[in-house]
Amino acid sequence: MDKSPITPEIRAKAEVYVGDEVCQEKFQLLLREVGLPSGLLPVKDAEECGYIEETGFVWLKQKKKTEHKFKSIGKPVSYAPYVTAHVEKSRIKKLTGVKAKELLIWVTISEIYVDDPPTGKITFKTPTGMTRTFPVSAFEIQEEVYKEAKQTKEANATITVNAK
């Protein structure tokens, strides 16, 4: 059963996109437009994303929960099947569906903001007010990594096609 936080009323007001490639592209573009690093939400197998420009509400639905490790800072992050937030200039508020591993526990991230974009610091805040700050560059998409992932995906698609 699909436990979607996205109601038909929300969906009716939003620009909605379907498919991994278009959702990745739209989210990276949106993050850049609001002054946040484009690699902030490296989710996989996105099924749908949406954006309500008037309120800044965004969502991303992926097939299943995923984890990603930001190698330059050594932090694993977990993304739930639904990630929702309100975006504004240099800030994400009311974030749901994102947790970071801190020592041995997973900590919910509720807010992200950048001081002095694009070269400044990015701060992650928990619902309890705890914060961690890192260089913005740690969350930018590395072009080589992106190209390599895309080539691997294309190679896998070719293998799948040839297997039929």
Contacts of 105 (CB under 8 A, 6+ apart): none
Give me the tens of pLDDT residue by residue for the chain, a chain 164 residues long.
Answer: 457 888 889 999 999 999 999 999 998 899 989 989 888 888 788 999 999 999 999 999 999 999 999 888 889 999 999 999 999 999 999 999 999 998 889 999 999 999 876 568 999 999 999 999 999 888 887 653 444 445 545 555 444 444 44
Q: Flag whether 3 is in a domain.
A: no
Residue 2 inside a domain? The answer is no
In the chain, how many domains are there? 1
72 within some domain: yes
CATH number of the domain encompassing residue 144: 2.30.240
Is there a contact between 48 and 17 (Cβ–Cβ < 8 Å)? yes
Let me know if residue 140 belongs to a domain. yes
CA 54 – CA 139 distance, rounded (Å): 26
